[in-house]
Amino acid sequence: MPDLTVQIEDDEQLQSGPLLFLIRVTGPSFDGLDAALEASPLVGNHSLITKRT
């Protein structure tokens, strides 16, 4: 999604588990972001923590 900026805010190695990333995404529109994350083989699962408008 070329109009979005993705910044890694924090990362943590879970004990005997996957890496956990906290990311900040900014941009004019987030339409399609969920679908793009779900389609990525690099993303196990994701959830929205907070949304600013």
- The pLDDT value given to residue 4: 93
- The pLDDT value given to residue 51: 82
Taking the chain (53 residues) in runs of 10, the rounded mean pLDDT of each run is: 91 85 91 92 90 76
- The pLDDT value given to residue 18: 83
Q: Is 4 exposed, middle or buried (0-12, 13-18, 19+ CB in 10 A)?
A: middle
CA–CA gap between residue 13 and residue 32 (Å, rounded): 28
- The pLDDT value given to residue 5: 95
